[in-house]
Amino acid sequence: MVVRRKYSLPECTLIVEGIGDPQGADERSTRPLLSVLVSAECHLVGKPHALTGDRAFLEAFAATVDRYARGMMSGLSVSSPPDSPVTVEPVSENDRANASLHRLSVRQPDAAEPLRLDLTTLQLFDLVEALDQMLADRRTLPDWAIEFQPRTRREAHNEEPIQKRAAPFALGASGLVIAALALFSLPVPEVERPREPLPDASEDTSELTTTPNGDPPTATPPDAAENAAENTSAAVPELDEALETVPEITDPDRLLALRYNLYQDLDRNWTTEPTFDRDLVYRVTVGIDGAILGYRPENSPARDYADETPLQELVYVPVEGGTAQAESLAEFKVVFTENGVLQVSPWDGYPSTPNDPPTIDDIATLENLLFEVRDDLYDEWTTEPRFDRDLEYRLAVTEDGAIARYEPLSSAASLYFPELPIEPLYDPASSIVLKDGKVNLAPLAEFRVVFTPRGTLEISPWDGY
Amino acid sequence: MLSNPPQTQTSKSQTTVMLDRLPDMPVTHHGCSRRTRVQLDLALLAIEALNLNGSQDILALAKQLELDGILPNRVTLWRVRNTNPLRRAHRRRPMSLTEAKALTAIVCYMARRMTLALRQLLKEYQQLVQQQLPLEKSPQLAFYLERFRAHFRSRMNPRRSAILVYSTDEKLNELAIALLEQLLFCTGTAGMQRFWVSLFDGEV
């Protein structure tokens, strides 16, 4: 008994013909059971060619179309199964007039050239739907069902389009050089700044003294230095008074937070290349909210080269004029060394040892954060790994998932830093929080992260679970 | 036009059967992945742009499908959607498999109700693109795109790098159209299973 079934949709009609199975009678349905497929025909509206084939063809067809549809839903690219007679791929996105078309190619045994049909999304959907309806029909080919399984991370990764994967490889040769150069910009607590070779000291001085009493761009003549110092640190005499009336901050934990905050502020803004050849020492006054209220040069190079430091632009000037009033103050010794290192310490040291910076100890928060960081890292990690071994890092992360500090645990790990997704999430200022107008250190959680050459990452709490 | 019209009456057992058709996925006890959370929220955002009564209808549907044990009220729905890390009001809270299944069912049932609108909008989009005309030529399409952009911009956190990509109208329109296509595929016979599996594609 020949059975013919038709699945009709607005843009696509699927007709299957097969042999009915008299044994398959079912009291719930009077429709005969189509158990053996003889041929299938698929008609698409506006396309002259019908697609025809046997069961093997129909299975390959359904598998390809299903995968493609799933890719459209997930937004991830999915390639057609290898060696399949049927493939679907998006029509080039550059072709504006044909964007959002889907090219169906069918290799037919008796034709030299594969048959190519460009389908609209609606046509593609109706095609998928016709096949789904046939597969869901219990009276047609009940032995065949589509199995819905997501791809693993690995499979999805391997299926990325060739063009996308080829790019990192093409860069491969020069990659190492770039990685090595990029190391210089690695933020480490104390940065060695590149500097120009300087003329020796005597030459330097003679040049300075012979400068006409105008306004030299980089240095102030010694006789003008006193005035300059008066100007740049104009707030200081008043600050001295302030220091007598406003309580000084003695809480070591607060001092530690303020020190870290001041370091970040100065480090971020110290962008002028040093031309001085002796360390610049300043005494800097900071309010409890972290604002720089004033500074005083403590040695003569500090007076002469003040404009090479970011202090002047960072001093907080109240809108209403005068000096800022703070409820309490702290003084720090700030040294800009001639080799480009910034040092910040409390002027009178810590009254007692500060406690360890706060950590996130709550297990639930820690675990949520771990997954958040993992997701963020995966999100930013878009390049194919070029390294051939596991790269380990120690990360300190705030409650909001920002990376406040990181530390490569091997030289390979630091060498391949530019390839890793850490930089976009790195924000050293995130470890400072202003609460009730006071600077505090944010609690941090530490993680060990291993980036593997397979493109996966493993993350665990630094102190173990 | 299509088989499987939206069911208006669903018994408790049918609800269980419906969610059971969505296989459990290997997620940790921390719940669904970031992409799952983002995709579900964006699909609902597109539904809200298509349907002026979107959020009320979503809650009414949850009740009708007897998913109100999982999504009892507006606040819970809001909390579950805010597990999308790209939202301004993002809260770090896991999305459970059950919650994800409930949202998947809601997306697909809502999409089925809007089958005609989805087909019409995509047809107009296709025609405009082929004639190289601006999308604003179609009032319905322009209306949807504008609402989608407004919803997206008011709810997503512009500082996240994943959101920066969508800073232009053009990029947001592309996303809005891709979501229309996604919703169209949700309307089909196997749409719900396929959508569910696509949420975990490349994640397991």
Q: Indicate the domain borders of chain B.
A: 12-198
**Mean pLDDT within A185-198:** 40
Does the distance separating the beta carbons of A150 and B189 come in below 8 Å?
Answer: no
CA–CA distance from A169 to each of A161, A216, A455 (Å)? 13, 51, 15
Q: Which residue has the higher pLDDT, A238 or A369?
A: A369
Interface-testing mutation among A13, A74, A144, with chain B (most B C-beta atoms within 10 A): A74
Specify the amino acid at residue B29: H
B115-130 vs B97-113: helix crossing angle, rounded to 10: 70
Pairing state between β A403-408 and A2-9: unpaired
Q: What digits encode the pLDDT tens for the residues A424-444?
A: 888 888 888 888 778 888 889
Structure confidence at residue A156 (pLDDT): 72
For A13, A185, A368, A395, A433, the CA distances from A407, given in Å and listed in that order, are 61, 14, 22, 7, 22
What pLDDT shows up at residue A465? 60
- Tell which wins on pLDDT, A450 or A306: A450
Residue A390 is predicted with a pLDDT of: 93
Which residues in chain B are closer than 8 Å to A379, comparing Cβ atoms? 34, 161-162
The answer, yes or no, to whether residue A177 has pLDDT greater than 50, is no
Could A97 and B2 be called an inter-chain contact, meaning their C-beta atoms sit closer than 8 Å? no
> Which amino acid would we find at residue A337?
T
- What dihedral angle (degrees, nearest 10) is formed by the CA atoms of B54, B56, B59, B62? -60
At residue B8, the pLDDT reads 46
CB burial readout A15-44, b (16+ within 10 A) else e = bbebebbeeeeeeeeebbbbbebeebebbb
Return the structure tokens found at A391.
């790269």
Contact B126 A69 (CB under 8 A): no
Residue of B177, B194, B195, B196 to mutate when probing chain A, most A C-beta within 10 A: B194
pLDDT, tens digit (0-9, with 9 covering 90-100), for A75-130: 877 777 777 888 888 886 655 555 678 999 888 777 778 888 999 999 999 999 99
Q: Name which residue leads in pLDDT, A212 or A128.
A: A128
Q: Report in angstroms the alpha-carbon separations of A112 from A44, A50, A72, A109, B135.
A: 22, 17, 30, 8, 40
Q: What's the mean pLDDT when you consider all of chain A? A: 77
How distant is the Cα of B11 from the closest Cα of chain A, in angstroms? 21
Indicate the helix (H) or strand (E) that contains A241: helix A236-245
* pLDDT at A89 (0 to 100): 87
Query: Which pLDDT does position B144 carry in this prediction?
Result: 96
Question: Are the beta carbons of A3 and A18 closer than 8 angstroms?
Answer: yes
Rounded distance, CA B82 to CA B169, Å? 24
B194, B196, B198, B203: CA torsion to nearest 10: -140
In chain A, the residue whose alpha carbon lies closest to the alpha carbon of B187 is A129
pLDDT value for A250: 85
Residues for chain B: how many in total?
204
A122:B185 CB<8 A: no
List CB contacts of A55: < 8 A, sequence separation 6 or more: A37, A40, A141
- Predicted confidence at residue A192, as pLDDT, reads 40
pLDDT at B27: 75
Tell me what percent of the residues of chain B surpass a pLDDT of 90: 53
Q: Which of A345, A356, A354, A196 is nearest to A266 (CA)?
A: A345
Between residues A322 and A22, which one has the greater pLDDT? Answer: A22
Between CA A278 and CA A287, with CA A281 as vertex, the angle to 5 degrees is 155
**Of residues A9, A146, A367, nearest to B30 (C-beta):** A367
Q: Cα separation of B79 and B84, whole Å?
A: 9
Q: List, in sequence order, every beta strand (DSSP E) within A76-136.
A: 86-90, 102-106, 115-119
**Which of A16-30, A142-156, A346-360, B40-54 is most confident?**
B40-54
**Residue in B132, B184, B186 closest to A121 by CB:** B184
Complex-level ipTM = 0.89
Mean pLDDT (chain B) is 86
pLDDT, position A199: 42
Select the residue of A97, A125, A148 nearest B184 (Cβ to Cβ).
Answer: A125
